[in-house]
Structure 1
Amino acid sequence: NANPNTFRALNKSIIEAAAYASDPANRIEIAAAISDRAFLNQPVEVVEAVLTGKFEDGNGNTLDIPDRIDFDPYPWQSFANWISSQLVRWDLQGDDLAPKIIPEKGYDTVGTEVFLTDLARELATELGQTAPTEIYRQETLKFDTFDPADPAAYIQKQIDEYGV
């Protein structure tokens, strides 16, 4: 709140950069820019492989998985709920003296306070981008999907399948 213009400008830059990085046509340029010692200090070929999804799998195969990585410029409330579900599942909400904020306030409230989806939509519009009008979606994860409407059931399912 102390520097609202700076906050808006910084977030606008992040949204613009994420949108740029989300376009696969820009990935080789980005790899060249960030592989340098000042940033990742990795061979450009390695960073290109990660960003483009074109890589050797170590078994003699060349894979082309263009959606291996993405840079979604929109902060989905459903993803905030998933992150919160993991904090609850692993009891990482704070030390023993801190209240258990997520169950107390609710997943949606915490997500709204942290992800600022409405502001992101406003800033994206100022940049000429079309942001989604919805704030929730099924989140597709590596091993399953997350339904933001029932985080408690998701946590229990994970515990049942994978243990604590």
Structure 2
Amino acid sequence: MTPLTLAFLPLTDSAVLVAAREKGFAAAEGIDLGLVRTTSWATLRDRLVYGQVQGAHMLAPLAIAVTLGLSQHPAALAAPFRLNVNGNALTMATGFAAALDPDPARRIDDPVATAHDFAAAIGLHHRKPIIGIVHRFSSHALMLRYWLGYAGIDPDRDVTLRVLPPSLMVEALRAGEIDGFTAGEPWNSVAVMEGLGEIVAVGARIWRRGVEKVLAFRADWMETHPEPVDRLLVALSHAASWCDDPDHHGELADLLARPNYVGQPAEAILPALTGRLVLRPGDAPIAISDFLLFYREATAFPWRSQALWIYSQLQRWKMLSPTGTLERRAADVFRSDVYRRALGATGQPMPGASMKLEGALDSPFGVGSHRGPLTLGPDRFFDGRVFDPEDLRSYLAGFAAK
């Protein structure tokens, strides 16, 4: 058995790693998988960069930021596998949410109208709203900026973004230290269950199938250990398929509820897995299609175009000074070549290209693939924009012209 240790945060989207260990998928590939529970993304980053673990459940933008030298302790990271798409939400305190559309389901289904309502609510609030984010370089934070910016809200001027670990968001909301937060599940559902807030937007409606967490390695370690990396990716692919099966959601919620994993009640974890979430305290759950995906539609495939979308947002919000070198390094973090190498012999269909237009699909669409048919799901951005990874300049100019 090959020992491999991965760091993770207590989130529902750590499910694939937990299933790989607990359901024997890792052991079946000769991997003795150890999982290290970590409280904050900064600590997880440092554990990976300094070699305390071989890999990590990581925010996709953080893997890119570390590689580009934007975060402390720069190091070249590689992400050959996406652990999930979507699964995050924006939860606001009940007082703030009262200024939005009174129908919680309508808020979710119409993010355009809700963004404008949110802008109006800022002016009515007793202070500049303080919104918790899990890290400056998180998909949630970038999607929040994207959504707010659509309504003319400057996220660096009109709201205060405060970094907190996901597991501390609910307590900060309870104490009145923040007015809301954006985070992965189960923390949004926990806040609603405890009567502290309402879910007012979800990532799956801001960017359908938006990139979220990845499996990240130090690039130098990955390159010198190809054989165990490939076996781990095969194990994770089997685990992801198991996690996406509705027949397994109850058992998966029970596994994640254990104290050494997420450590929250199964009833708080199950909503994200089933896509049936309670949006407001006391309300019945509503169905949110494709809220969190682990496997189907090539969820795990690391599209280089999505790495470049992240890069475009870092540029848009002036978190970096763009150069051709940085752009190439950002794209190179997502290692579709390693994914194909590891999983090519499994017979599962996978995309024939490594980049695509992001946001171009309104409905399921068949694409060219290796080893059989592959259908990709809708990937629209809520504002209808399409990201062409070959033309970042025009894409960014569209925001400046608005």
Which stretch shows the higher mean deviation, 61-70 or 36-45? 61-70
Q: Is 1:85–2:341 an aligned residue pair?
A: no
Counting only pairs closer than 5 Å after superposition, residues 40-119 of structure 1 correspond to structure 2 as 40-58=262-280, 60-71=283-294, 72-93=299-320, 100=321, 103-105=323-325, 107=327, 109-119=328-338
Instruction: Quote the offset at 1:58 in angstroms.
Output: 1.2
Which stretch shows the higher mean deviation, 139-148 or 45-54? 139-148
Give the aligned CA root-mean-square deviation in angstroms. Answer: 2.7
Instruction: Quote the offset at 1:38 in angstroms.
Output: 0.7
Q: Distance in 2 between matches of 1:116 and 1:15?
A: 15
Cα separation, partners in 2 of 1:82 and 1:55, compared to 1, 3 Å: same
How many residues of Structure 1 are paired with residues of Structure 2 in the alignment? 153
Q: Distance in 1 between matches of 2:279 and 2:401?
A: 32
TM-score (normalised: structure 2):
0.34
Q: Distance in 2 between matches of 1:134 and 1:64?
A: 33
List alignment gaps of at least 5 residues for structure 2: 1-222, 360-378
Q: Distance in 2 between matches of 1:126 and 1:19?
A: 17
What is the aligned partner in structure 1 of residue 258 from structure 2? 36
Q: Distance in 2 between matches of 1:22 and 1:74?
A: 15
Counting only pairs closer than 5 Å after superposition, residues 10-25 of structure 1 correspond to structure 2 as 10-25=232-247
Q: For the Cα contact (< 8 Å) 1:82–1:146, is it kept in 2? A: no
Instruction: Quote the offset at 1:112 in angstroms.
Output: 4.7
Cα separation, partners in 2 of 1:51 and 1:160, compared to 1, 3 Å: farther
Q: For the Cα contact (< 8 Å) 1:74–1:117, is it kept in 2? A: yes
What is the aligned partner in structure 2 of residue 97 from structure 1? none
What is the aligned partner in structure 2 of residue 143 from structure 1? 382
Choose between structure 1 and 2: higher strand proportion.
2
> One-letter code of the match for 1:149?
E
TM-score (normalised: structure 1):
0.74
| Equivalent position to 2:342, from 123, 140, 160 | 123
What is the aligned partner in structure 1 of residue 50 from structure 2? none
Instruction: Quote the offset at 1:44 in angstroms.
Output: 0.5
Percent of aligned positions with the same letter in both sequences?
26
Q: Distance in 1 between matches of 2:237 and 2:319?
A: 28
> One-letter code of the match for 2:391?
D
Cα separation, partners in 2 of 1:23 and 1:154, compared to 1, 3 Å: farther
Instruction: Quote the offset at 1:54 in angstroms.
Output: 1.1
Give the structure with higher Rg (CA).
2
Which stretch shows the higher mean deviation, 42-51 or 77-86? 77-86
DSSP-derived class of the 2:252 partner = helix
DSSP-derived class of the 2:323 partner = helix
Which stretch shows the higher mean deviation, 80-89 or 45-54? 80-89
List alignment gaps of at least 5 residues for structure 1: 94-99
